[in-house]
Structure formats: structure tokens, C-alpha cells
Structure 1
Amino acid sequence: MREFCTKWWKRIAAVDMLFIGVLALLASLFASWLKQFPGFSLFGALIIALLIGMIIQFPIRSAYVGSNDGRKAGVKDAAGLISNKLLRLGIILLGFKLNLAVLFTQGIKCLPIAAVVVTLTIIVCYAIARKLGVDPMLAILTAGGTGICGAAAVMGLAGSIKASEDKQDEKDNDVTMAVAIVAIMGTVFALLEIALGPLTGMTKDQLGITAGASLHEIAHAVAAGDAFGAVDIATIMKLSRVLMLVFAAIIIAIWWEKKHSEVENT
């Protein structure tokens, strides 16, 4: 036990861990502030913070890491620890955003719709992606993000899907790519839905339910629901899909483990 605690303390109490942790915190705070402005609210703080991280990695590699192999390994370990282990804590905290009392009263009719939408979307998106030759990991992460709640779902599913040591870097790249795909496509379809929704002839509540059932990110659903004057029902519908993340993560993890164990045994 002492050896285990000592090992993890050395990883957590490292200079590189502090450096990466502070950068992640600053990116998160800046993204949370930036999302209040018109245009940025469609992306959401998570996507903005991710984009900031993708941009600042280049000057960090040049100025902080350089040719120092020890520092390079430390930064990689710190980033991996934050994006993997602490990710699970983030998913647990996401659950506190769900108002179960509202979901199981006003939103009781939304839960069956959410279950059907999430299931069909994941199955169809994965099938299409595999038909186009997309890597299985990228396909299932993109399908999950599209079907459930965007970038948060991608990272939540990534935490539940196991990958061997030699494929960990490939998995990390797939996670980044999947987040980028659902973020870009989610924003595009949010703008299209806001523009075309009123032309469909649906009522405000119907437009709100459609927004919550079809858009990836909570920020997208809220923005569309607000544009339609139905932000409450759009939010409830969207949170009903977020609730499906727990069940989807368990089912996909079991399916992935079984599928790949069968492949390895053949």
C-alpha cells in the first residue's frame, strides 16, 4: 500500500504535473469566461478549452519541453493522468448537473425518446463510419458523442473503453479527432437548425424537443431552445440524453471488450 501511494504521489506532486494542471485550469477558466460572448456560446466551454489546449501545445513543446527527454516524458505522463484518471471524476461531477426530480416528472416522456434516439444514432453512425473504413475506436467514439452529449460523451466513453499499452497513443489521437468531429458538426447543425426550424411549421415545444433530441452539446441545445422560445423543454430533453451516458458507457465497454477479445482469440 505504501509503495502504491508513494508511486502515485510522485506522479501527482511533480513539477510537470503542476505546470500542466495550471495550464488546464487557466484554459478552463478562460473558456468559461469566453463562452458568454455571442458566437462562442454555441461551442461551449469544453470545446473552447480543448481548442486552446490544441493551440498552446506548440509553443509549450518549443519553449518548455524543447529537446529535454525527461521533461517531455513528464509532460506526457501529466497530460495522460489528467485526461484519463481525472476524467472519471469529471464524469461523476457531470451527474450533479442532472435534476432527477425534474427529469422524472416534467421530463418523463422525454426518457423513452432519449433512449431510442441515443440507441439508433450510435448504431447507425457506427455502421456508416465502419462502412467508410473508419477505425473502430474512432467510429464508436464519434457515434457515442453524436448520439449522447458531444465531447463529454466522447471522453466518458474513452474512459470506459480499454486499450493496450501499444495502442494508447492511437486511442488518444482518436479521442481528440472524435471531439473535433462532433464539435464542428454539432455547431454546423445547431446553426442550421436555428435557421431552418421555424420554417418546418412545428410548435415551440416540438422545436424544443427536436433541438434537445438532435443536437450534441448542451450549449447547442440550450442555444437552439432559447431561439425557439422553448429552452426549458429543450434542456430537459437534452439532459435526458445525457442520462443515457451511464448506460451507454457500460454497454459499449462490455461490447467492446467482448468483440476485441473474440478478435484476438481467432
Structure 2
Amino acid sequence: RLTRKVIDKQRGVERCAECGGQGVKIQTIRMGPMIQQVQKVCDTCSGQGTIYRQNKAQETLEVHIPKGAPDQHKINFSEKADEIPDGEAGDVVFVLQEQSHADFKRKGDDLYIERTISLGEALCGFSMQVKHLDDRILIIKSKPGEVLKPVPYDPFVEDEKTAWTMFEDFDCPSLENAAVAETEDIKVCKKAVDSGQLRGKGIGCFVQKGGRTVFKQCTYAQAFETKVASKGSKLYIISDPEADKEKRMMKAVEGEGLPRLKSPFEH
């Protein structure tokens, strides 16, 4: 339910007689032989140049959320804000905030759910029931002879902050420098790799010493193999992306994700 200010249609909008619609008044001040003119805001119309009355009106807006709408999706109601004279009312915009779910995680239009299965089930087959978002019960089972294998792909690794392992008194001098920062602020350095200028540049480690941070473009294995002792240095190596590979297996159920949000340009 929305409360907004609307212009009284019966009274309408009138031009301010005090300032002639200018919104300001000129005041003449005589000081002996001198005359000074001072411009000030009109008290009658508060500088708007018009006189009108606003009433409060309540209106119920029905917000229809389209299927597949993503987080931060905006739903716009044109000209539903407060009314103003000689102009169009602004828009009311609803911004959707997606709530986390106890079982499902969303990645675009796909839904992921985690379940633990035994080694025997991974090798010989499994069957499980999953309650969907619309309360339907899905029977998910492996095909005859299908073996679930570990996969390196983690769909949510880009959404999480990169994990680092710190090695005191170590460096990787043989690796080529990719960038240098004149700071040892660990939060600033990690942010530069996660979401700053170095994101997606393949930074596998960085070294801090003497107030400077040197970023290296490498893999986890290259950084770990080339590290050598270096007193006074702090070496940060990206966590092994394959560390949890054995625990990560996937099986896709086609057509049971979220509906794709239709573009307004599609027909």
C-alpha cells in the first residue's frame, strides 16, 4: 500500500501573485544616498512560483514478479510518486532481494542442491527423493551402469572470496611479476584479486616485503613448486582448487531449474 502526495484538482495550480511566478522577490533597501536591491526567496510560494495544495492519497499497487526474476531485478511503476506542478510525477521502483534457501542454491537459471552419497552409491547407483520449490517430489536416480566421477568444476567458486595460504619467510622470485602495489594492506591486496583490477588475471600468489606487494601470474602448482626461503617475506598462495575435487560430483536433471526471465524484446 502506497501513500503519495497528489495535487488538489479542484483548487488546481495558480501562479503566485506575490512574486509573479518568479519564485523570488526583489527588495529595495535605501541607505542614505545609496539604494541596494536584495533578491530573496518568495515566502508565499517557497520559491516555486506556483501555489497549490497537496493531499495525501493511498493506493494499492499489485507487484507481479515475473518467473525467473533474478536478484536485484527492478519492477517499475511509472508516475506513481508524488505529483508536482508543471511536470510529470516520478516513478516508484521495487527492487527484488532474493532470500537464501535452506536446500537450494541458485546460479542463473540453474538450481543446485547438495546431498551426501556413499562410495558404493557413486559406483553402483543411487536413488533419492528431493522436494522441489513447488512442493513436487522429484525422484533422482542414476542410470544403469552410470558411475559418478569427481569434477573440478565448482559453480559457486566465483561468488566466494578467494582463499589464501600464508607462508612466513618464503618467496617465489623465479616467477614473473604481474603487478606491484605500494602497500602491504592484506585486505586491499585480496580485494584487488577478488573484485579489483587483478580479477581474472590469473594471479596465483603474491609476496609482501618492505611495504610493497608483488603479484605473480601462475597456477597453484607453479607457486608451490617454486617457493624458496626468503627472510622477512610473506608469501600468499591461492588455495588448491583441486583440494575438494574428490568430494564434488554432479548429476544434472534437465528442465527442473528456474524458468528463464523473458526479455522485453523477445516475442
* Structure 1 and Structure 2 fold alike (TM over 0.5): no
Looking at secondary structure, tell me which structure has more strand per residue: 2
**Given the two structures, how large is their TM-score scaled by the length of structure 2?**
0.20
Looking at secondary structure, tell me which structure has more helix per residue: 1
Specify which structure has the bigger relative contact order, considering alpha-carbon pairs within 8 angstroms and separated by 6 or more residues.
1
Indicate the structure (1 or 2) with the bigger Cα radius of gyration.
2
